[in-house]
Structure 1
Amino acid sequence: MVNTTLLELLPAPETPPTHLHQAMHYAVMGPGKRLRPLLTLLAANVATDSPVLPGSHTLRMACVSELVHTASLILDDLPCMDDATIRRDRPCTHIRFSESTAILASTNLLNLAYGVIANCPNVDASTKVAVSAHLSHVIGSMGLVGGQVADLQNQPMGARSEIEQLYHQKTGCLFEFSVVTGARLMGQGAEVIEALTRFARAFGLVFQLYDDMLDHSIFALETGKDVQQDAGKTTLLSLYTPEELRGAFSDAQALAREQLRRAGHAESLLAALVEQQFATFNGAAQRLGS
């Protein structure tokens, strides 16, 4: 349903400018987990077991994070950024098309994300304003853009807290947007939103540690993207011993579970999805430490 909704939201590839729209389709519709939309859907569905209907406002809002995530990946892969060649088991967008087309496709995806929020049916104006303001913060210098700047500068970081903040900007903040948007669609209050915000920071830390492990050469065949992109960069993986890594995983997962419980998601489908992800992360950690 997420993929169907994304296709509905994207301009048709045969619509001029066709090259731009084809690049957008190539980047967005490539194989992916759709984890961020799932987080929104499950955070929004906590009070009911009824399925989300195709084309619903919840699905449209859930797709916003995927549009933004894809836009960030396009930019992250550019030669002036990480200079990557492979993304999701395929040539990066700038290689398949061109650097200029990739940049414009990314810009248009970000523009489209705000348009989806503004035009989403059956969502009140105050919720749209809150979601838009949150997204602006997540994308900006305190979020994805700031994280990318810090990553490119690669200045030495002595404190683990500094690296954890970088991880939140690179990864956790968009998880935060995803779950908080789901909560807002359900009309949840400040206490639930605060708990989900804390959950996202912990979940993002575990996720980014996992991503650091995927950058390790032993995972080269299963990443679907370039590896050893973090060579020479200070990461938590480079600072942790295997025992410390397992401890960090355990602590962050415990915090994430506790915050889900506080948000009313102790035995929800959202919690089940998170546990599924944790099982994958822990398996990779064990392999790296063996």
Structure 2
Amino acid sequence: MEVVHLKSMVNTTLLELLPAKETPPTYLHQAMHYALMGPGKRLRPLLTLLAANVATDSHLLRMACVSELVHTASLILDDLPCMDNATMRRDRPCTHIRFSESTAILASTNLLNLAYGIIANCPNVDASTKVAVSAHLSHVIGSMGLVGGQVADLQNQPVGAKSEVEQLYHQKTGCLFEFSVVTGARLVGLDAEAIEALTRFARAFGLVFQLYDDMLDHSIFAQETGKDVQQDVAKTTLLSLYTPEELRGAFSDAQAMAREQLRRAGHEESLLAALVEQQFATFNGAAQRLGS
């Protein structure tokens, strides 16, 4: 099954999971639709589906959408005036600008609530798997994951080593990729060795992805990102710490690690590997443009 078709199935499932826009409180539900159903890559749900070898049962699609709900909720909060004070997201005004700050916060909270409800109520998934997925998501969202990453990003304290920035990148980005692929693996009963390999893959893939996001913050990409750029000018990033040669080396090393871990997980010639290679091509193209 082609990735474009999987993405369409994800979008259909997301729409089915949301309360109808006409259901009271309508303004809140409209904001949720606006934030969630805007143009997006749906990369995280795709990672779940492909880690599970594209088993497109309805329960797998629902569980795959959990990461997109969490991701969208985090973007809403990240854009708020008290956070990054952004104006554009996915090529249109941020949710707090289109609606209001209070509505945006409540929409984000409700998306997170919906995510946990989907896990709890998903049919054809055994209780132990639901508990494992819920516990993993709690860790990913919490102070050791997305929330902690956001705190560190806002504080922007000087760091003494690149490894500290890499850990921040894992909290901001890699941990939700990890949740996505590990959830797919759990749903189809992959063994502990495969799950560990996919966990290491997600960390490497998240590093490359965040390096790419750093590059997109550069002004030369202003017309292509669909969001505000130069948000990280005053922040410590790997892009600010690396020389061009080190940046190329970091890209190469992380991509090699991601490929090796996919091979260890049995995905060396899978649709998951193909999607990853497609992403790497985009990342590398951006790196070449930035260095030219």
Contact 1:176 1:197 (C-alpha < 8 Å) held by counterparts: yes
Which stretch shifts more, 234-243 or 73-82? 234-243
Equivalent residue runs for 1:61-140 within 5 Å: 61-140=63-142
- CA deviation map 1:163-194 (0-9, x unaligned): 00000000000000000000000101111111
Contact 1:24 1:105 (C-alpha < 8 Å) held by counterparts: yes
- In structure 2, what is the Cα distance between the partners aligned to 1:2 and 1:192? 24
CA RMSD of aligned residues (A): 1.2
Contact 1:210 1:281 (C-alpha < 8 Å) held by counterparts: yes
Contact 2:49 2:55 (C-alpha < 8 Å) held by counterparts: no
- In structure 2, what is the Cα distance between the partners aligned to 1:157 and 1:287? 28
Contact 1:20 1:104 (C-alpha < 8 Å) held by counterparts: yes
Check 1:16–1:46 CA distance in 2 against 1; reply closer, same or farther (3 A cut): closer
Does residue 48 (structure 1) correspond to residue 50 (structure 2)? The answer is: no
- In structure 2, what is the Cα distance between the partners aligned to 1:164 and 1:150? 12
Q: Tell me the CA shift for residue 226 of structure 1.
A: 0.1
- CA deviation map 1:1-58 (0-9, x unaligned): 1010001000000000000000000000000000000000000116899xxxxxx001
Q: Aligned with 2:40: secondary structure?
A: coil
Contact 2:49 2:56 (C-alpha < 8 Å) held by counterparts: no
Check 1:268–1:134 CA distance in 2 against 1; reply closer, same or farther (3 A cut): same
- CA deviation map 1:185-222 (0-9, x unaligned): 01011111110000000000000000000000011110
Contact 2:198 2:262 (C-alpha < 8 Å) held by counterparts: yes
Q: Aligned with 1:222: secondary structure?
A: coil
Q: Aligned with 1:23: secondary structure?
A: helix
Q: What 5-or-longer segments of structure 1 have no aligned partner?
A: 50-55
- CA deviation map 1:203-245 (0-9, x unaligned): 0000000000000001111000000000110000001111111
Contact 2:197 2:264 (C-alpha < 8 Å) held by counterparts: yes
Q: Aligned with 1:12: secondary structure?
A: coil
- In structure 1, what is the Cα distance between the partners aligned to 2:271 and 2:129? 24
The aligned residue for residue 205 of structure 1 is 207
- CA deviation map 1:242-264 (0-9, x unaligned): 11111100000000000000001
- In structure 1, what is the Cα distance between the partners aligned to 2:55 and 2:258? 20
TM normalised by structure 2 equals: 0.96
The aligned residue for residue 240 of structure 1 is 242
Check 1:71–1:281 CA distance in 2 against 1; reply closer, same or farther (3 A cut): same
Contact 1:46 1:265 (C-alpha < 8 Å) held by counterparts: no
TM normalised by structure 1 equals: 0.97
Following superposition, which runs of at least 4 residues in structure 1 exceed 3 angstroms of deviation? 46-49
Q: Aligned with 1:243: secondary structure?
A: helix
